[in-house]
């Protein structure tokens, strides 16, 4: 049994750690996992860039100053050393330095090591690593295993095969051809063209498709001429999509695939290439590793704000900058997806793209700050919220669920409606409906009865919520659980994480006042059954399921335990504690005291099903779960006296 005083102490320690990671400007940048996968793609790109400059006819190698060449070569060397330091015992590599080996990352590392060894002979360490890696690839069915991993989705398999072809490891005819010419159509038509890649992969569709066409052109002369004629037009689409930072979606793998493809077909001097190379160089860490993306600044900051609010903290504006959150809202139509103004992306960097999950999180965060906002500011804040709500309503799919980026794309996995996205959007809409209802429909304190329309919520919210609930009902599995789209667990069956999806959906039913609904009851029963004998929740089974159980990190379960407790605490609010709840709290508190929350587990899924972990996740998830437990007991969180900050956010 975890007593309240002990829980207060644990909560205060988590809050202190969270605020030590906070920037003085009032938000969290977070820290994404070092990624062997991203590192391999970056190494291959830099090596291909140097090779392209050295072989092109424009004598470009003489215009690349010696310090610039040295910078590139040192980046490759540091990246290679990082890769060699984190090879798994089975000879492969995983997406993160804590991940199970997989065939996709294994092939990308093989291509990187092959491209990076020139000039000069390979070292003994390099040779041993490659030999073990080739054995791993052979045991996992080589290229057939790679193709089987992704099925009909060519978003990732085509770029990987392109990387292998650039390294001389496969024939260009083995690379899947991509219809880059479809990018010449107006953006509004993309969802009708049945593209073989997801909505966010248009730059890769164009450049990977073009480099394959460059080395293995179509057999029919007439069709070759058509494709040749639209090459420049489709590259212009890519140039338009490239942000100021140079990184497409701020993502290392996507940017790397675009740039290495351009270099492969002799476009090393393209502005797209030079900006992409600089993006990669800027993002390399002192360890030599690259993360999969610049950061998740908006996502982690809204998670932190919402966890503080759920814990009953009354002065969140001391720690979270409302001005920064509002500045992160996108105010113009986005060139990448064509998204209308009003949404939030996962980052404040220029390559971020508005999406449903981050927009919902931001709406909840500014709602959490509502009571602390001055009356003069409320109408301005509400107008931002109203625009975001309309953005969400316009994004909702016909099936009632919410997709990530684009309405109507549903053929490939990461474009479909998601349970986690839908539950989050419903909670955001319900929260703002409650705010407006509490004020009798008036937001500005002195708004006349016939005041401006922008002080009212958008039409269609009630219908959208009802459709979203119906979608969640249809997606519930027979055992009572739900599966999320953007989170998983490498060690669970089918790499799924039903604990995340179920916990987030229970919260939506609670916010909707539907705790007695059969879907909610079945979900809670499922969570109760999934608690392990040690009091924790894990997405993998109680007993080891594979001979590779040694790979499971000691931190596993902190995030899932916290998520389950947050949902159950909300569901059982005002009721006596069932036995699972205090046992879970005691287990979570013990994990925090042991420091396991400082080693996050790779439960996050990035684009094209790439694993990542985020340093903030276990801290903020545990903070929210324990804060809710204190609230249920009528105990206030301890006062926050954060002395490590230089200033107070506005």
| Host H or E run for residue 139 | helix 124-139
Q: What is the pLDDT of residue 443?
A: 56
- The confidence band for 295, taking pLDDT boundaries of 50, 70 and 90, is very high
Show which of 218, 248, 283 is a domain's final residue.
283
Bridge partners, residue 28, by sequence: 22
Clarify whether residues 88 and 41 are in a common domain. yes
608: pLDDT strictly greater than 70: no
- pLDDT at 441 exceeding the cut of 60: no
Same domain, 11 and 42: no
Lookup result for tokens 């990987």: 160
Is 452 a domain residue? no
DSSP string across 560-599: HHHHHHHHHHHHTTTSPPPTHHHHHHHHHHHHHHTTGGGS
The verdict on 159 and 262 lying in the same domain is yes
Q: What is the CATH number of the domain that holds 177?
A: 1.50.10
Cis, bond preceding 540 (omega within 30 deg of 0)? no
Asked if the structure places residue 648 within a domain, the reply is no
- Tell whether 290 is covered by a domain: no
Q: What percent of the chain has pLDDT over 90?
A: 66
Report the pLDDT value the prediction gives residue 75, as an integer from 0 to 100.
96
Q: pTM of the full predicted structure?
A: 0.92
The pLDDT assigned to 645 comes to 46
Q: What is the mean pLDDT of the chain?
A: 87
Residues 160 and 20 in one domain: no
> How many domains would you assign to the chain?
2
Q: What is the DSSP letter of 559?
A: H
User: 358 and 412 share a domain?
Assistant: yes
Pairwise CA distance, residues 302 & 362, whole Å: 6
In a shared domain, residues 17 and 57? no
> Do 28 and 51 lie in a common domain?
no
Residues 326 and 440 in one domain: yes
Q: Which of 314-318, 423-427, 452-456, 492-496 has the highest mean pLDDT?
A: 423-427
Same domain, 238 and 315: no
Beta carbons within 8 Å of 637's beta carbon, 6+ residues apart = 8, 11, 12, 15, 311, 312, 313, 627, 630
> Does residue 640 sit within a domain?
no
DSSP E strand stretches across 264-411? none
Kindly state whether residues 11 and 80 are assigned to the same domain.
no
Give the dihedral sign, CA 492/494/499/504: positive
Model confidence at 73: pLDDT above 50: yes
How far apart, in whole angstroms, are the C-alpha atoms of residue 261 and residue 207? 6
Q: What is the CATH number of the domain that holds 349?
A: 1.50.10.20
**For range 285-302, the mean pLDDT:** 97
Higher pLDDT: 541 or 647? It is: 541
Quick one: pLDDT at residue 64? Answer: 66
Question: Has residue 625 got a pLDDT over 90?
Answer: yes
Domain boundary among 221, 255, 283: 283
Residue 638 lies in a domain: no
Q: Who wins on pLDDT, 541 or 429? A: 429
479 inside domain: yes
Lowest pLDDT segment from 133-142, 219-228, 362-371, 515-524: 219-228
Residue 338 pLDDT greater than 80, yes or no:
no
Residue 644 above 50 pLDDT?
Answer: no
Looking at the domain assignment, is residue 639 inside a domain?
A: no
Boundaries of domain holding 535: 4-32+295-447+460-540+556-632
Residue 310 lies in a domain: yes
Spell out the residues 6+ positions from residue 272 whose beta carbon is closer than 8 angstroms to its own: 235, 238, 239, 242, 258, 259, 262
pLDDT digits (tens, 9 = 90+) for 546-596: 444 444 555 568 999 999 999 999 998 877 788 899 999 999 999 999 999
> Which residue, 219, 249, 283, sits at the end of a domain?
283
Structure-block tokens of residue 538: 């894990």
* Residue 135 sits in the same domain as residue 189: yes
Q: Are residues 628 and 580 in the same domain?
A: yes
């Amino acid at each position: 049994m975890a007593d309240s005083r002990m829980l207060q102490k644990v909560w205060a320690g988590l809050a202190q750690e969270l605020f030590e990671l906070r920037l003085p400007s009032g938000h969290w940048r977070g820290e994404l996992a070092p990624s062997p996968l991203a590192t391999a793609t970056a190494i291959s790109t830099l090596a291909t860039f140097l090779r392209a400059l050295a072989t092109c006819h424009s004598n470009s190698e003489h215009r690349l100053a010696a310090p610039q060449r040295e910078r590139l070569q040192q980046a490759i060397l540091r990246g290679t050393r990082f890769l060699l330091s984190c090879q798994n015992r089975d000879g492969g590599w995983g997406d993160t330095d804590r991940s199970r080996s997989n065939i996709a990352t294994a092939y990308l590392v093989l291509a990187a090591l092959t491209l990076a060894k020139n000039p000069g002979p390979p070292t003994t360490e390099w040779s041993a690593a490659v030999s073990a890696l080739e054995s791993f690839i052979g045991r996992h069915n080589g290229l057939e295993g790679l193709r089987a991993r992704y099925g009909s989705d060519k978003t990732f398999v085509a770029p990987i095969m392109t990387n292998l072809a650039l390294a001389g490891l496969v024939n260009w005819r083995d690379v899947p051809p991509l219809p880059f010419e479809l990018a010449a159509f107006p953006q509004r038509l993309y969802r009708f063209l049945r593209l073989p890649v997801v909505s966010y992969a248009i730059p890769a569709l164009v450049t990977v498709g073009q480099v394959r066409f460059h080395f293995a052109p179509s057999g029919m002369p007439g069709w070759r001429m058509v494709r040749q004629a639209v090459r420049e037009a489709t590259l212009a689409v890519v140039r338009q999509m490239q942000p100021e930072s140079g990184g497409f979606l701020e993502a290392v793998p996507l940017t790397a695939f675009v740039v290495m493809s351009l270099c492969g077909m002799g476009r090393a001097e393209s502005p797209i290439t030079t900006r992409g190379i600089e993006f990669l160089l800027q993002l390399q860490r002192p360890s030599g590793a690259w993360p999969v993306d610049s950061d998740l600044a908006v996502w982690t900051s809204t998670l932190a704000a919402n966890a503080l609010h759920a814990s009953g903290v009354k002065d969140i504006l001391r720690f979270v900058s409302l001005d920064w959150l509002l500045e992160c809202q996108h105010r113009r139509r986005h060139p990448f997806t064509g998204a209308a103004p009003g949404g939030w992306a996962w980052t404040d960097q220029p390559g971020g793209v508005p999406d449903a999950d981050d927009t919902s999180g931001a709406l909840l965060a500014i709602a959490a700050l509502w009571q602390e906002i001055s009356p003069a500011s409320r109408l301005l804040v509400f107008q931002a919220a109203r625009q975001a709500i309309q953005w969400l309503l316009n994004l909702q799919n016909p099936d009632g669920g919410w997709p990530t980026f684009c309405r109507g794309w549903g053929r490939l996995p990461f474009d479909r409606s998601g349970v986690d996205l839908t539950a989050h959007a419903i909670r955001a809409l319900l929260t703002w409906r409650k705010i407006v209802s509490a004020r009798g429909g008036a937001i500005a304190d002195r708004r006349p009865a016939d005041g401006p329309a922008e002080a009212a919520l958008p039409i269609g919210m009630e219908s959208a919520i009802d459709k979203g609930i119906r979608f969640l009902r249809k997606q519930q599995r027979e055992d009572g659980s739900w599966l999320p789209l953007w989170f998983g667990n490498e060690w669970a069956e089918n790499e799924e994480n039903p604990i995340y999806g179920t916990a987030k959906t229970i919260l939506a039913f609670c916010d909707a006042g539907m705790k007695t609904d059969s879907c909610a009851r079945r979900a809670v029963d499922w969570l109760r059954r999934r608690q392990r004998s040690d009091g924790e929740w894990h997405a993998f089974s109680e007993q080891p399921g594979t001979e590779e159980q040694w790979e499971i990190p000691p931190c596993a379960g902190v995030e899932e335990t916290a998520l389950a407790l947050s949902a159950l605490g909300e569901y059982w609010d005002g009721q006596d504690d069932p036995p699972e709840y205090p046992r879970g709290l005691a287990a979570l508190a013990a994990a925090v005291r042991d420091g396991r929350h400082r080693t996050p587990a790779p439960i996050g899924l990035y684009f094209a099903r790439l694993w990542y972990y985020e340093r903030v996740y276990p801290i903020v998830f545990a903070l929210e779960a324990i804060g809710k437990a204190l609230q249920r007991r009528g105990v206030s969180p301890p006062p926050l006296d954060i002395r490590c900050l230089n200033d107070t956010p506005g």
